Amino acid sequence: MSTIYDVAELAGVSPATVSRVFNGTSVSDEKVAAVRDAAEKLSFTPNRTARTLRRQSSEVIALVIPDIENPYFTEMARGVEDVASEAGYSVVLCNSDAQVDKEATYLRIAIAEHMSGIIIATADESTNLDTILATGRPVVAVDRSTTYDIDGVVMANRAAGTSATKDLIDAGYRRIAYIGGPEHIDTAAERAAGWRTVLTAAHPDLDLDGLQRFETFRVDGGRAAMEELLALPEPPDAVVAGNNLIGVGAIQVLTEHGLTPPEVGVAVIGSLPFTTLSPSAVTVVRLPARHMGVTAARMLLERIKGDKQPARTVVLRNEVQPASKRS
Amino acid sequence: MSTIYDVAELAGVSPATVSRVFNGTSVSDEKVAAVRDAAEKLSFTPNRTARTLRRQSSEVIALVIPDIENPYFTEMARGVEDVASEAGYSVVLCNSDAQVDKEATYLRIAIAEHMSGIIIATADESTNLDTILATGRPVVAVDRSTTYDIDGVVMANRAAGTSATKDLIDAGYRRIAYIGGPEHIDTAAERAAGWRTVLTAAHPDLDLDGLQRFETFRVDGGRAAMEELLALPEPPDAVVAGNNLIGVGAIQVLTEHGLTPPEVGVAVIGSLPFTTLSPSAVTVVRLPARHMGVTAARMLLERIKGDKQPARTVVLRNEVQPASKRS
DNA sequence: TTGAAAGCGCTAACAG
DNA sequence: CTGTTAGCGCTTTCAA
């Protein structure tokens, strides 16, 4: 590995000049050429660690998500990555596994590695951002809102809940259950609230509490809840799934019980990228995950550049794609 | 941010002692206590950048994969992460998007950031590892083999192809098509070879070339090829999908054409984590993706620790899960 | 526009 | 066991 000193010597200039060439400050054309030449010959790559140590900041942003195996988050990650790499930043993906302590470890690494900003979908409502915010680093919350005064990007979660439920009601279903994620995550709570409002208005006689389940945002969560609901003395005739994976689990269980979708109505909040189901049998509320990533990354970059305006929260609209094959 | 000097002063020791305390070299108990106390009071976190600059290596490993949206790779990533974090290493996930130049950029970053090792599923057979290997960093290839003399972990790809095909033949299918990934990726080629061998032996009269398609390892690849195959004058009565996403695409198209799986036989090489399909309608050759990640990470850590034995290639056996609902 | 020189925070000889 | 000291490679005043 060659250093700026090697390059400087070969080019006949000072190390400072080499540094300037690689940082775009004014250097005479001839010296620029000489330096570039020498750098080429030595296949010189600037040592980022040294630069980071000196500058106390690096062009890396951390993206902390609770489940790397959920396509919703990986799609979002793609959005973040595209914007970031366009701007010369790298993205480090950190999987908190929905555990606050793992999350805290990654946050600590982000500080210790001088990363310039963080985009985070918090593991929990108890996620503590005090330390990271105390360092002055910008943090953008995605998918889930926080109690902190920071930028955020969220889906129109309540609207997603209402649209999904309305669509099932319009299709004639009545006992519409809801399977959501952990109750204390605002995203899950909001979607549930949307379902509750619409369903109460349409069928005030229903026992909503009996039709509602809170589970993990994973396939097994959806499966467990769906099994429970089917075992009810009076099972639901339709179900709203609070996220994509819960939807997969619920549909799996229904299929296994011989209740293929239009038979029991299904609406899923979130897309099902890898489903083999006939796409028209299930209502899908598409959530613009990639767009969420793009928006969050742009906001973060603005903050990194020094933008000081008050914290903003962007709410992303979603798009309902109704089941079409219902008889 | 406080430094070891601050801690040293408060604890009444030298900076070197503070460093020793944080690196486990012998220090008297009382000084250890004093240092820990002081560090606590100042909420001191060692500056990793400085340590990296000094040590010329950091406890970070890069995991470069061609498609972060493929559950196969994210499952593998989980395996890598578990082993790595156990050993005190962090994992940086890099998405090459199957593009050699993006991949090269990440490799360059891995060097510039002094990461201690790389696990890579190469984008292409033209991936160039010369530069990274020249730095002396250990590299482990996963999922796809390379022409370099380095450690590797691959699936039993040919066996996967033969098992999948055999299962369909045993079930009575005859015109069994194959949809694989890019032909020049050895993983794809091997799986195809397995299919070809078995099918030729069973039905020597078939025109195999006409039943074979090479596509991208993605859902749209599977869709396109399946549409083509169905449009054939004499369409296949079964199909082997070369990976999970191709399987999803193929099944989607079949479903849309009213040919739900046991009607046309389907065998998929790779698991379908998020399908809503009745699990017993399709033959699945399970690939131990997580295990691949675990194995690769362990090998890499051994190399990082200085192991110099000749390069090894580990081949992971897979498990066939036959369709059970066939009549 | 250019160079000299002083660190960024940490580690690793080397003495003691 | 402990302290002193010399850098790791780069950026950035400060002078020239």
From the list B75, B248, B255, the residue facing A278 with the nearest CB is B255
Residue in A with minimal Cα distance to B218: A274
Q: What's this model's pTM, rounded to 2 decimal places?
A: 0.88
- Which of A148-157, A223-232, B57-66 shows the lowest per-residue confidence on average (mean pLDDT)? B57-66
- The residue type of B240 is V
Q: pLDDT, tens digit, for every residue of A30-71?
A: 999 999 999 999 989 899 999 999 988 888 899 999 999 999
CA–CA separation, A308 and A21 (whole Å):
31
User: Mutating which of A218, A276, A290 best tests the B interface, going by the most B Cβ atoms within 10 A?
Assistant: A276
pLDDT at B136 over 50: yes
Closest nucleotide to the alpha carbon of A8, via C1': C3
Helix (H, G, I), strand (E, B) or coil at B92: strand
Q: Provide, in whole angstroms, the distance separating residue A27's CA from nucleotide C8's C1'.
A: 25
Q: Provide, in whole angstroms, the distance separating residue B4's CA from nucleotide C9's C1'.
A: 8
Of A177, A154, A157, the C-alpha closest to A230 is A177
Strand order in the sheet with A58-65: A90-95, A58-65, A115-120, A139-142, A151-155, A313-316
Of B314, B301, B316, B311, the C-alpha closest to B87 is B301
For strand D, the positions having any atom within 7 A of a protein Cβ are: 1-5, 7-13
Are B272 and A276 a contacting pair at CB < 8 A? yes
Residues of B in contact with A244 (CB under 8 A): 274
Distance from CA of A86 to the nearest CA of B (A): 12
The mean per-residue pLDDT over the stretch B109-131 comes to 90
Distance from CA of A204 to the nearest CA of B (A): 32
Q: Does any CB of chain B come closer than 8 Å to the CB of residue A57?
A: no
Helix (H, G, I), strand (E, B) or coil at A78: helix
CA–CA separation, B111 and A258 (whole Å):
55
Buried b (16+ CB within 10 A) or exposed e, A197-224: ebbeeeeeeeebeebbbbbbbbbebbbb
Are A274 and B245 a contacting pair at CB < 8 A? yes
End-to-end CA separation in angstroms for chain B: 69
Q: pLDDT, tens digit, for every residue of A72-88?
A: 999 999 999 999 988 88
Q: Provide, in whole angstroms, the distance separating residue A298's CA from nucleotide C5's C1'.
A: 39
For B253-316, where are the E strands, in sequence order?
265-269, 283-286, 313-316
For strand C, the positions having any atom within 7 A of a protein Cβ are: 1-5, 7-13
Helix (H, G, I), strand (E, B) or coil at A149: coil
From the list A93, A114, A248, the residue facing B49 with the nearest CB is A114
Give the pairing of strands B319-321 and B283-286. Answer: antiparallel
Size of interface A-B (CB pairs under 8 A): 116
CA–CA separation, B271 and B287 (whole Å):
7
Closest nucleotide to the alpha carbon of B44, via C1': C9
Closest nucleotide to the alpha carbon of A14, via C1': C3
CA–CA separation, A270 and B30 (whole Å):
57
Distance from CA of B71 to the nearest CA of A (A): 6
Show the CA angle centred on residue A12, arms to residues A9 and A16, nearest 5°: 75
Which two structure tokens, joined as six digits, stand for A134?
């105390």
- The answer to whether the beta carbons of residues A245 and B244 sit under 8 Å apart is no
**Domains of chain A, with CATH numbers?**
4-46 (no CATH), 55-155+289-317 (3.40.50.2300), 157-287 (3.40.50.2300)
- The answer to whether the beta carbons of residues A153 and A303 sit under 8 Å apart is no
Q: Please count the CA atoms within 13 angstroms of the CA of A112 that sit on its side-chain side.
A: 18
Q: pLDDT, tens digit, for every residue of A235-275?
A: 999 999 999 999 999 999 998 898 988 899 999 999 988 88
Residue in B with minimal Cα distance to A252: B276
DSSP string, B147-184: SSSSEEEEE-HHHHHHHHHHHHHHTT--SEEEEES-TT
Q: What is the pLDDT of residue A326?
A: 47
Strand order in the sheet with A176-180: A212-214, A176-180, A238-241, A265-269, A283-286, A319-321
A50 CB neighbour count, 10 Å cutoff: 17
pLDDT at B17 over 70: yes
**Angular region, A158: left φ>0, alpha ψ -120 to 50, beta rest:** alpha
